[in-house]
Amino acid sequence: MTDWKRTLISPDTTIQKALQIIDESSLQIALVIDGSQRLLGTVTDGDTRRGLLKGIALNQPVSFIMQNQPIIASPIDGPQKILSMMREKTIRQIPVLNENGVVVGLELMDELLRAGERDQWVVLMAGGVGKRLSPITDTLPKPLIQIGKKPILETILENFIDYGFYNFYFAVNYKNQMIKDYFKDGSKWGVRIIYLEEDKMLGTAGALSLLPGRPEKTFLVMNGDLLTKVNFTHLFNFHRESNVIATMCVRGYDFQVPYGVVKIDDRYICSIDEKPIQRFFVNAGIYVLDPSVLDFIPKNQQFDMPQLFDALMRSEKSVAAFPIREYWLDIGRMDDLVRAQVDIMNFTNRKPEGNGHR
């Protein structure tokens, strides 16, 4: 059994410290215990992100966000029973408690299944012109712009490979032959790459209508001009736990009003808020979709992801937001490109909490 004891924390541990424990281990969970090692609750990456969406600060104790009635197992429960519980409750870890409620182990779905590679499809949107990066993009497609020693798209591809993904689709349009000549069929990286060739710009969702078939499993879509260290294992887990048809990654964005904001009731001033900061969540260009979502995408028409999510919500389908707390940079403008060239020095591939390298 995995060294689960490093996941044990007290209820007054900060959320930030719990995140550090979750991120630095491959177990993707922290177990909250009392002084006698009795289980009080559990904390996963998904719990922390839901807390962020509610405005709970990272310096607050984990007791604010922990699951205080987690699913548990007994030492006498066999692997098949535990696996059945995991599938039924859409969870990947179950603490094992003795008759006194003391933690004596932690079962992981990946270990029980002896999971290897991820066979989910990854669709990378690499067809944009990148007008704001002209004159560079006058002769080079944006996905092939070098950040450090590699094209943007190669860094993205290798990050996914580190998580065990190997089925890739590149949606291409502008100067697509250059992209195809560089990546070919993906065999150089030990993966499979199939190209979705757009005769016209189809947008960030419309290109999915070119898929050669319907994926059997949930799949991921990402813009081909993003540098990020988002944990894709956490993302897929969050999507599954949320029981939704689609999940959009979002990023916190702060905007400071440069003036004093005056609140007025009728003609009377109620308050003055000097240069307040407004916080929003913005679309981060990364999505997890169930196969049925493809039914909402028109054929051969420009259709963007916000339109797709609007269509899903109008049809009363549940969709979720996954807040990104990791590194993320959209390389859309020249100053973003300059920043990326600096950031890439620290953007080294670490061994992720995924299922291993292909």
Residues 238, 99 share a domain: no
Per residue in 289-327, pLDDT (tens digit) is 999 999 999 998 999 999 999 999 999 999 999 999 888
Per residue in 36-83, pLDDT (tens digit) is 999 999 999 999 999 999 999 999 999 999 999 999 998 878 777 888
Residues 19, 133 share a domain: no
Task: From 60, 86, 113, give the residue that closes a domain.
Answer: 113
pTM above 0.95?
A: no
Per residue in 158-204, pLDDT (tens digit) is 989 888 899 999 999 999 999 999 999 999 998 999 999 999 999 99
Task: From 83, 113, 143, give the residue that closes a domain.
Answer: 113
Residues 84, 125 share a domain: no
Residue 182 lies in a domain: yes
Residue 354 lies in a domain: no
Q: Residue 327 corresponds to which tokens in the numbers above?
A: 């590194």
**99 lies in which domain range?**
4-113
Give the H/E segment covering residue 45.
helix 45-53
How far apart CA 61 and CA 64 sit, in angstroms, is 6
Residues 171, 107 share a domain: no
Residues 138, 58 share a domain: no
DSSP letter for each residue of 128-162: ---GGGTTHHHHS-GGGSEETTEEHHHHHHHHHHH
Amino acid at 72: I
3-state secondary structure 292-352: HHHHHCCCCCCCCHHHHHHHHHHCCCCEEEEECCCCEEECCCHHHHHHHHHHCCCCCCCCC
Residue 267 lies in a domain: yes
Residues 123, 270 share a domain: yes
Residues 182, 160 share a domain: yes
Contact 321, 281 (CB under 8 A): yes
Query: Which residues participate in catalysis according to the annotation?
Result: 275
Residue 352 lies in a domain: no
Residue 155 lies in a domain: yes
Q: Residue 156 corresponds to which tokens in the numbers above?
A: 């993205």
Residues 324, 267 share a domain: yes
Is pLDDT larger for residue 146 or for residue 26? 146
